[in-house]
Structure 1
Amino acid sequence: MVLRETPEAITVSDGSREAKVNRSTEVESIGLLDIWNDVWSHRWFLISNATIWVVAALLYVSTASDEYTAYASIVLTPSRITGSSQNSNAGNAVVQLDSIQAESQIQVLKSERSLRTVFDVYKDEFIPAEARSTTSFNFSGLLRSLISGKGSAPNSIDLEDRFFQRFADKASVRRVGASYVLELAYRAPSAVLAARIANSIVSQYLFNQIDLKAASIEKGGEFLQNRISDIQQQRVTAKESVQNGKIPPRVLPDADAQIISAATVPLKKSWPLSGLTVLFALAMSTAFGLTIIVVRNTLHPVIKSLRSMKRDMEFSCITAVKKNADAFMRPSHGSLLKRLSLLDHPGRASLSYANSLKTIRENILAGCSDMRPFLTCFLPLHPGSEHATLALATAYTLASSGKKVLLVDFDINSAALTLLVWPNAIAGFYDCESTAELEQLAGSCKVADGLYFVPARSPTKIFNPNYYVFSKEHLQMLRDVKDIDVVVVFLSPSSSAVEAHNVGLTFDNATVTAKSGLTPALLLRDTVVALKAPRSIPAAGVLFN
């Protein structure tokens, strides 16, 4: 068997016979219902994936060190010395700042010189607190190091320098809009410590500005004692503010900046944010799960709906069977005959299943010819007991319509139909060597009026798993059966198109059964092509969804 594929059609040749299956060039429209059905079919994967992400988020929240952020704001009020010792009447003239100069003050505010001074004041408090927050496994530090790209410090760096780097990383400064207001934020394991350090950093900035002004005055020759005393007093005030972590009690006019908002003790932690972290985990799990579904469907497309079966598949009829629609056929609902009798007068539980059986039965009867027996088969493309149940129920509805039906289990390996219909069989098709033996076995396994059954094998006996059921002798045995109108054969699950090709050579009709979300689309397509290659037999498609 040779398959040739073109954009318009798939061609299968087998000796002198050739068959084509047209390929639709239309793009299949996908509706919201199709998307929802696809997502719903993967609901357990999405739920499991979300659970893993949420557990990881909760683990992160429970192990991450608490951090509090305190904010302090200053406004730049620049002035420059325009006077000198020769002109004592000259004073300070206000100089307007441009945006570049304002941005440069951000770097001054968080410069190493300023932060190092503040660190020296608080290192006896900061180092123990920081050491406690890193003794346990810390997801927060790991996450931030990955995002920022800052790994651990080299071993050659002094321990105190490592803590200073952490101290500096916790400080951030931003400019508020286009104004001259700078906002400093500082994170610390303690709320009180965060507020004190934030106030000390802005106070240190004021001290540096005053110190620079004092140096400028002395260099410029301005030695008026009262001016120098005022500058020195401002320096002392700023230095005290750095030491105690509180803003200066009075305005420092020579600082070129004023504190407009002191850092207060934060009332709640700023990190980790439990609710936001869980919501982020849920969002990431959903995005990750949907991405996996899309990639899987792209690399390994599967049958999702009747629409996807109809596209490119020239079935004579297609029907769907809902999941668990055959629940009334389970052994817990009574004897086999009692369960089958529910199909004669379908109730609410069996109505949809009976309607699907009617469609399959009509397709089989439409192909019945004068030649007896008429050979039809069920070819499942995926394992599952529902396929065997469907074959049994179809055979029963055919018998109820007045036909004499022989149901044969060709699934030698799993014998799924045998376990459902005749679990105590002592012999089966595997043991038959002639038509007479086959008829005798069928006569001893009568299921209902007009319905006879041939098991695959005895479930308790050793068998050859490589037993070939499609030999000419075996198939001739089915053709030679007398007083039978329809032979329904249940085949083993197919994983390739080879078995479908044998079906096309042997049987007069075929019913292909697939599972939504599990059966590969390529397997179904190749199966249909192989079925139609030898004799283009009528084929029906059944989808379990």
Structure 2
Amino acid sequence: MLTAAREAVAPSTLDLNRADSELQVIRSERLLSTVFVALKLADHAEFHSLKPSAIQLIGRKLSGIASRSGPFASMPGEEPTVQGANPGPDQRRVAFENFARRFSARRVGQSYVIEIAYDSSDPDLPARVANSAASAYLLQSVAFKADAARSGGEFLQARLDALSAQVDAARLAVEAGQLPSTPTPDADAKIIGAAQLPLGPSAPRKGLILAFGGVFGLLSGLFVGAIASALDRKVRRGQDIPRETGLPCLAAISKIDVLAGAQYASAQDMALLVASEGSQAFVAGIRDLRTAIEIARPADRTGGNFVIAIGSWKPADGATMLTMNLGQLMHLGGRSVSILSANLDAFLTETPDAAPPSTMVDAIAQNLPPERVAFLLFDGMRLLPIRSAIPQLNRFADLREPRAARIVAHARQLGDVLIDLPPFDDSADALALATHADCVILAAAEGSTTFEELNDATEKLRRGGTNVLGVVLDRCQP
């Protein structure tokens, strides 16, 4: 869109109230219709592209009563006509309303200066309309005086010829969209300056729009980020765990990219990360966890054997890897370690030549004495799967009964016991096994486990009388 060039009109002898009256004359439908007809704008494509509103349609019906003052009324002394094919009355009315809506006139402050403006996508049309409107105002002024001279009997041939010349010059200027070619001293206004073609489009202001869009996008992004951060309930920092759960963060275990090298490809290798090179940060986290456990060991069991259960809400939160590496570190430190795990399937499939071990569920079902339960030896540690290979036995097994407690007690006699609990969202087996432990440690994966999951697991464990020692944050970014 191009903002219209402007035409300024300065009345010669007007008070402020008269200036407002003349401003309404310039805005009147009579004067605009003169410009509309004189410039032959009824067939202009620009004025048929905009659809009138419902209120404008109603106003158009009502204005039919006063059609004499419509866009086809004549100025004094003229009978305007439109050349070429005539559109229907409704189309002409729509075109005129669209034309009038783009036209504006205003006083400049409290002065006698009136500024005329017109908006159009045609770069040539604004100046023509503004100049034609100013000329139409002059035409109306001098035409009224000419008619008054004739009717009042004050006719003087020289005076009439001068006024007629001014009328003809103003009429030609209206039709051409220009200012009169000769002076019009008898008009009630003087032209300050002619409207000029605009130097460039004034709308849309692309630079301002781009700047506003950039600022708005930045603020929107910050707002969305703040909302997402406020609604994000995933564990991301160890400092947030005490505030959100009331449990201490015992250790932060660094993330190890298991795809970085072939030495970390198997489940067995993942259980021996503490003994491998290039995982110092991971080993430091496991060592911190072992220290926290030693500090929490009851005073009456100093030097004795301890039963520790490690569990997580979901299978992929790393409880099994933490249990195996903690057991390996304790074994390397000179302690005897037995691991009871519900997630040893990967280890068993990687040792097809080993004799099938007993399981806790099998021993309970067969009522085996604890000393007859066969443990699987793995790198100095004793492993005992919890779940049976027979699904039906797993469904009916009660892991809280005395036979399960006797198996745990027998393993305690051999050394420290680590219980790798099933996921808390899988079944109640984790809660049943946790009752045999001196304390339970919850494993949380950074960016995966939520505070609600930790709180739910803590509530379930405490409801069963289990001591929850704290939380270890796994897979932390280095």
Normalising by the smaller structure, the TM-score range is: 0.5 to 0.7
CA distance in 1 between counterparts of 2:261 and 2:347 reads: 9
Q: Is the 8 A contact 1:200 1:247 kept in 2?
A: no
293, 299, 318: which is aligned to 2:250?
318
- What residue is the counterpart of 1:454 in the other structure? 385
Give the Å deviation of 1:437: 8.9
- What residue is the counterpart of 2:451 in the other structure? 521
CA distance in 2 between counterparts of 1:185 and 1:420 reads: 84
CA distance in 1 between counterparts of 2:18 and 2:429 reads: 79
- What residue is the counterpart of 1:356 in the other structure? 285
TM-score (norm: length of structure 1): 0.61
384, 408, 420: which is aligned to 1:478?
408
Give the Å deviation of 1:285: 5.1
Within the alignment, does 1:240 sit opposite 2:240 as a pair?
A: no
CA distance in 2 between counterparts of 1:176 and 1:421 reads: 92
Within the alignment, does 1:398 sit opposite 2:330 as a pair?
A: yes
- What residue is the counterpart of 2:131 in the other structure? 203
CA distance in 2 between counterparts of 1:277 and 1:390 reads: 55
CA distance in 2 between counterparts of 1:269 and 1:154 reads: 30
CA distance in 1 between counterparts of 2:446 and 2:263 reads: 26
Change over 3 Å in CA distance of 1:449–1:517 after alignment to 2 = closer
CA distance in 2 between counterparts of 1:464 and 1:292 reads: 51
Within the alignment, does 1:71 sit opposite 2:1 as a pair?
A: no
Percentage of identical aligned residues: 16
- What residue is the counterpart of 1:418 in the other structure? 345
**Residues 507-518 of structure 1 aligned to structure 2 (within 5 Å):** 507-518=437-448
The AA in structure 2 aligned to 1:508 is: D
Change over 3 Å in CA distance of 1:530–1:237 after alignment to 2 = same
SS in 1 for 2:117: strand
**Residues 126-525 of structure 1 aligned to structure 2 (within 5 Å):** 126-127=45-46, 130=49, 158=90, 161-162=93-94, 167=99, 180=113, 182=115, 184=117, 186-188=119-121, 194-217=122-145, 218-219=147-148, 221=152, 224-242=159-177, 254=187, 256=189, 258=191, 260=193, 262-264=195-197, 267=200, 270-271=203-204, 273=206, 284=216, 286-288=218-220, 290-295=222-227, 301-311=233-243, 313-322=245-254, 324-327=255-258, 333-336=264-267, 338=269, 341-344=272-275, 346-347=277-278, 350-368=279-297, 369=301, 374-384=306-316, 386-410=318-342, 415=343, 418-419=345-346, 422=349, 429=359, 431-434=361-364, 443-444=375-376, 446-450=377-381, 452=383, 454=385, 456=387, 470-472=399-401, 473-481=403-411, 484-494=414-424, 505-525=435-455
Q: Is the 8 A contact 2:327 2:337 kept in 1?
A: yes
Give the Å deviation of 1:355: 1.8
SS in 1 for 2:8: strand
Change over 3 Å in CA distance of 1:443–1:233 after alignment to 2 = same
**Residues 87-126 of structure 1 aligned to structure 2 (within 5 Å):** 93=13, 95=14, 97=16, 101=20, 105=23, 121-126=40-45
* Cα RMSD after superposing both structures: 4.9
The AA in structure 2 aligned to 1:239 is: V
CA distance in 1 between counterparts of 2:405 and 2:35 reads: 94
SS in 2 for 1:538: strand
Change over 3 Å in CA distance of 1:496–1:389 after alignment to 2 = closer
- What residue is the counterpart of 1:60 in the other structure? none
Give the Å deviation of 1:362: 1.4
Change over 3 Å in CA distance of 1:295–1:76 after alignment to 2 = same
Change over 3 Å in CA distance of 1:127–1:76 after alignment to 2 = closer
SS in 2 for 1:206: helix
Tell me which structure has the larger Cα radius of gyration.
Answer: 2
TM-score (norm: length of structure 2): 0.68
Which consecutive residues of structure 2, in runs of 5 or more, have no partner in the other structure?
Answer: 62-89
Q: Is the 8 A contact 2:235 2:447 kept in 1?
A: yes
The AA in structure 2 aligned to 1:318 is: L
The AA in structure 2 aligned to 1:396 is: Q
